Amino acid sequence: MPIQVVEHFESRRISTGTNPSAELRYTIYGTDDDVAARQALADAAPAMYDPWGSGLIFLPRNEVAVEPLGPQEWSGRVSYGLLPQTEDAVFNFDTGGGTQHITHSLATVASYAPPGKRAPDFKNLIGVTPDAVEGVEITVPVYQFSETHYLPNQVVTPTYRATLFALTGKVNNATFRGLAAGECLFLGAAGTRRGQGDWEIMFRFAGSPNAENLRIGDITGINKKGWEYLWVRYADSVDEDAKALVKKPVAVYVEKVYEEADFSELGI
């Protein structure tokens, strides 16, 4: 018995617009071999599909799939849609932000004390105890974004993949994607080869703004790049007006914790 491929009555599921697609449904009879069933389906279904019926624009076939229904019977699905071409790129971003533990505020809005008393001036410190400065967790700007690029196979060599590995966890040493030097952190890349053709590679980044002229307590003129780490050393001090022992920032340190790199080596 020859293999038969029959299209379903409810087969043609069509979507038009900015991301047009089409899906055709079939039943395949006459074989228990999944390879033969899939090949018969590929031979029967059109290689291109025109969801508008204009004869001018056709969607390429991008998937042929089968699954068993019973003895010598298969359900088949053929989908059509626009596929990114080599050298194309897709961009995504998220400005949801991250968290940071801070020990000082931008300003102390108010302080209160019992009648006849004065609240100690902690110079914008948050959560001061006799032994420490506890601080608070806040949301800070972190610009998360990714880029998916479709690169030719001859570009994605073992040397190129090693370069991506070496650049992971580095910050930009020059302006990159509108972010000044020190503001962009490369989080890594993940790639998949599309059949015997090009590579689909997603590059992930995070941005954190540089800061200038910060003030912590009485210490001013502090400059910090986006992915540098800032910490403060405190010491006991006496607030003469409040007659109280307080914590006071006595030094601010800005630490380099990520190496810098040339992001032009990403090749994107």
pLDDT tens by residue, 65-99: 999 999 999 999 999 987 777 777 888 888 776 77
| All structural domains of the chain with their residue ranges | 4-81, 84-268
CA angle 132, 136, 139 (to 5 degrees): 155
Indicate whether 111 pLDDT > 90.
no
Helix (H) or strand (E) holding 4: strand 4-7
As a whole number of angstroms, the distance between CA 177 and CA 186 comes to 12
In tens, the pLDDT along 195-241 reads: 778 899 999 999 999 999 998 888 999 999 999 999 888 888 887 77
Q: Do the beta carbons of residue 143 and residue 206 sit within 8 Å? A: yes
As a whole number of angstroms, the distance between CA 48 and CA 43 comes to 12
For the chain, how far is it from start to end, CA to CA, in angstroms? 54
